[in-house]
Amino acid sequence: MERKKIVIVGGGITGLSAAYYLQKQIRENQLAVDVKLVEATERLGGRIHTIKRDSFTIERGPDSLLARKPEAMNLVQELGLEDEIVYNGTGQSYILVKNKLHKMPKGAFMGVPKEIKPLLASNVFSRKGKLRALWDMVLPKSKETGDQSVGALMRRRFGDELVDYQIDPLLSGIHSGDIDQMSLQATYPMFHRLEQEHGSLIKGLQKTMPKPAKKAKEKKSQGMFFSFENGLETLIDRLEEKLTDGTVRTHTAVDHIEKKEHGYHLLLSNGEVYRADAIIMTAPHNKVPKILSQYDFLKNLYDIPATSTANVVLAFDQSQIKKDIDGTGFLVSRSEKYRITACTWTHRKWPNTTPEGKALFRCYVGKPDDQDIVNLSDEEITDIVLRDLNKTMKIKARPEFSIITRFKHARPQYHVGHIELVADIRANAASELPGLFLTGSSYDGVGIPDCIGHGRKSAEEVLGFLNK
Ligand code: FAD
């Protein structure tokens, strides 16, 4: 029997996870299937990119994984990487409101309050704002059944103040997006369920979120996020090691795909043609219509917007920080006249990344209404970031070095209606392009654990397809 061939397009975490789980299945079930992974750039990892400089460990893209999502931890255990895990330092985080850093109230989940005392004690909100937020506990649940924006739900339950000062900076920051356009169903469906089942998000969180055990409270609590001693790329390197020799082809883009009577032909940027019985497409959604330009329905992928952002890493000698603050970093409320959206004090949150006596800051720029900032020069962006930092921190010198990483039109936005839009495109793909699976961060979840899950699911789907 002729061996079947699967080609994975893209060597980010989704593509690598798909390749890993496919080869695991192939080995365990002795399947006559070969896997190839084609990556356009010279390196694997996509947005995950760790570099070393002057004994600093620097993340140019994501910096951590959410520990409570099982997909990542399961993979980390299978890969034998537990000993290399480091958890984040759990110090105080801050929110910048009215040009001042305020302690982020404790007892909240994704910015949504669970405990009332810290909310009442906080000096971030006015008395009126606090009272309005507590209306959540008495307001009737909404009759909304379809999709709505995360902002619409949150503003209805808590009023604008809590949303603008606490929930929006966190949730819009995670997605580099706009909470008032973000689909509730596609991003945080649990909040809709909590409202419907408990009539209140505060009450719902209180009933459903486990209380930390007393003993755990007494011990220094473990962070919610993890990375690895040598940075996130550890995961990428180990996945690559586990793949069969010859699986990966880097520095080669898939330029065009043609459907043939049996399977597909993939035209590569070096002129070669790969034949495939099935394809896992993990390249970002806005690249796909060009690769499959004959299929008009794929142009609807352009309806998934993608924002731009830049990650700005600044390294200093500790002595240059005249007003250091004990904590892990701060988020900036959208109403502030700042161009940074967040700053992590990486030397405190991830002490393993920074040599003794040094300080490492990691800031983001690129608010929804400040997208062009990513087109400025490194020098200009560094100056803007330093000016903003100096409003609260008093840093008296230029950084020892700065590293700027731009993500242009690279943060997929799940706007209201996203789930139906994707379902529609996938339904068309299933009939016009059987055996081609669209997956990755553009569709069903952006977090790295989600992407590992997408890779695993697409591996199952493609083997199911070949087995039909
Ligand atoms: P990608 O990593 O984009 O991989 C796609 C790959 O396809 C790329 O390597 C690309 O070169 C390749 N490609 C494109 N076109 C072609 C082609 N024609 N032929 C061949 N290859 C092609 N998530 C977290 O969980 N924690 C975080 O802390 C976090 N922070 C983030 C910070 C930033 C700045 C960004 C941008 C994202 C962050 N995320 C975070 C989200 C997470 O990093 C991404 O969602 C995830 O890494 C995406 O993985 P992917 O494999 O789907 O896509």
List, in order of start, the domains of the chain with CATH numbers. 4-44+234-304+415-467 (3.50.50.60), 104-208 (1.10.3110.10), 306-412 (3.90.660.20)
CA separation for the pair 116, 131 (Å, rounded): 11
Going by alpha carbons, the residue nearest to atom 52 of ligand 1 is 440
| Sheet strand arrangement including 85-87 | 65-66, 225-228, 85-87
**363 neighbors 330 (Cβ within 8 angstroms):** no
Q: Report how far ligand 1's centroid is from the alpha carbon of 61 (Å).
A: 9
Residue whose CA is at the smallest distance from ligand 1 atom 51: 12
Kindly state the tokens that stand for 75: 């993979």
| Cα 62 to Cα 177: distance, rounded to the nearest angstrom | 16
CA 164 to chain centre: 21
CB within 8 Å of 112: residues ≥ 6 apart: 154, 158, 167, 191, 201, 202, 205
441 Cα–ligand 1 center, Å: 7
For residue 48, the CA-to-ligand 1 centroid distance in Å is: 7
Tell me the CA–centroid distance for residue 182 and ligand 1, in Å. Answer: 19
Contact 351, 112 (CB under 8 A): no
Kindly report the pTM of this predicted structure. 0.96
CA-nearest residue, atom 27 of ligand 1: 62
What is the residue-level pLDDT of the chain in tens, covering all 468 positions? 789 999 999 999 999 999 999 999 999 999 999 999 999 999 999 999 999 999 999 999 999 999 999 999 999 999 999 999 999 988 889 999 999 999 999 999 999 999 999 999 999 999 999 999 999 999 999 987 899 999 999 999 999 999 999 999 999 999 999 999 999 999 999 999 999 999 999 999 999 987 765 655 545 577 899 999 999 999 999 999 999 999 999 999 999 999 999 999 999 999 999 999 999 999 999 999 999 999 999 999 999 999 999 999 999 999 999 877 889 999 999 889 999 999 999 999 999 999 999 999 999 999 999 999 999 999 999 999 999 999 988 898 899 999 999 999 999 999 999 999 999 999 999 999 999 999 999 999 999 999 999 999 999 999 999 998
48: helix, strand or coil: coil
Closest C-alpha among 129, 122, 118, 175 to residue 150: 175
ipTM summary value: 0.99
Rounded to the nearest whole angstrom, what is the distance from the C-alpha of residue 13 to the centroid of ligand 1?
7
**Strands, DSSP E only, in 110-242?**
112-113, 225-228
What dihedral do alpha carbons 198, 202, 204, 207 form, nearest 10°?
Answer: -130
Ligand 1, pocket-test mutation among 16, 37, 47, most atoms within 8 A of CB? 47
Detail the DSSP E strand segments found in 61-99: 65-66, 85-87, 93-97
Q: Which residues pair with 103 in a beta bridge?
A: 94
How far does residue 319's CA lie from ligand 1's centre (Å)?
Answer: 36
- Residues with beta carbon inside 6 Å of ligand 1? 9-15, 38-41, 46-48, 61-65, 253-254, 282-284, 287, 291, 309, 311, 407, 410-411, 440-441, 446-448, 451
Token pair of 52, please? 């070393």
